[in-house]
Structure 1
Amino acid sequence: MPRHRESRILPYTADLMFQIVSDVEKYPEFLPWVTGLKIVRRVSDTVFDAEMRVGFAGLNERYISRVTLDPVAHTVDVVKTEGGPFRQLENRWRFTPTSESQCKVEFSIAFEFRSMLLNMVAGKAFEVVMGQMAGAFETRARKLSRKTIT
């Protein structure tokens, strides 16, 4: 199963980054390929199921994931539970303060498509997709904090 890990120091607080990643229903406003997202079931204040709709090159899919938030540890865990093109999909965000105004962002993802063809194609495009996704979250943080990255 393909895995990817990424770590960056960003000039934003861990609280802000946690807030952005936790606010999943806003994803269609700034994440490429996310065409819709809604919370379909709340298990608790920090655990919910979310249906994500994604579209790319004429393909449209939807799947449901269990999202677990830990505001104290500044972590967000996501596990696909039903539907969509994935056999498995898990990702984790962790935000660690490094100063009053910046944090270390760690992101890991593991996925496997149901289709072997999609697995082969995704492997080649994966780095581009991850870069665009990371850039979208950084742009969102910059907009919400009104900071400029230097």
Structure 2
Amino acid sequence: MPSHNEKRVIPYTPEQLFDLVADIERYPEFLPWCIRASVRLRTEQEMLADLTVGFGPFRETYTSRVTLERAHRIVVRAERGPFKYLSNQWIFEPDEGGCRVGLHVTFEFRSLLLRNAIGMVFGEAVKRMVKAFTTRARAIYGPSPFENN
């Protein structure tokens, strides 16, 4: 089962980065391969969200349950769609340089075709995803006070 772990210090606060990741409906504006995103259910601690992702000729929609622990952790588990298993966990920890962000992603597609096609570029896709959130933070929040200007 493909998985990816990444930790990076991003020069914004845990609250700011938590808010960006939790703002699922805005994903198509900046996240590579995200074509559509909608939230069907939203509470303080949980969301039920539908995302459509596209990669080359592939278009897939899936439903995820998103558990929110304000400014500390976001856990995503696919409930319906092309995944046999999908789990993302974002961890946000204060750091002198801003926020230490940890992302752990594990997934497996039901389809062998998708598994082979997307599995090859999975690591690169996750790296691009983290970079997209970093770029989005700068666009939304402006220059960070944690950066040396």
Question: When the two structures are superposed, what TM-score results if normalisation uses the length of structure 1?
Answer: 0.90
In structure 1, list runs of 5 or more residues that go unmatched: none
**After the TM superposition, which residues 1-150 of structure 1 pair with which residues of structure 2 at under 5 Å, given as runs?**
1-42=1-42, 44-71=43-70, 74-83=72-81, 85-99=82-96, 102-147=98-143
Q: Which amino acid is 1:10 matched to?
A: I
Instruction: Give the CA deviation at 1:56.
Output: 1.5
- Opposite residue 40 of structure 2, the aligned amino acid is V
Structure 1 residue runs of 4 or more that deviate by more than 4 Å after TM superposition: none
Shift of 1:115: 1.6
Determine the C-alpha separation between the residues in 2 that align with 1:58 and 1:4: 24
**How many angstroms does 1:124 deviate by?**
1.8
For 1:97, give the aligned amino acid.
Answer: P
Alpha-carbon distance in 2 for matches of 1:2, 1:89? 10
Quick one: distance in 2 between partners of 1:123 and 1:20?
26
Q: Deviations over 1:75-105 (max 9, x none)?
A: 100000012x211101000110013x60100
Distance 2:41 2:140 in 1: 27
Deviations for 1:51-78, whole angstroms, at most 9, x for unmatched residues?
Answer: 1111121221111000111015x11000
Q: How many residue pairs end up in the alignment?
A: 146
Q: State the TM-score, normalizing by the size of structure 2.
A: 0.91
Q: Deviation of residue 41 (structure 1)?
A: 2.3
Aligned equivalents of 2:41, 2:17: Cα separation in 1? 24
Identical columns (%): 40
Equivalent-residue separation in structure 2 for 1:146 and 1:104 (angstroms): 19
| TM-align CA RMSD | 1.6
- Provide the C-alpha distance between the structure 1 equivalents of 2:8 and 2:128, rounded to a whole number of angstroms: 14
Higher mean C-alpha displacement, 123-132 vs 105-114: 123-132
Q: Distance in 2 between matches of 1:55 and 1:122?
A: 11
CA drift of 1:120 comes to: 2.6
Matches of 1:131 and 1:41, distance apart in 2: 28
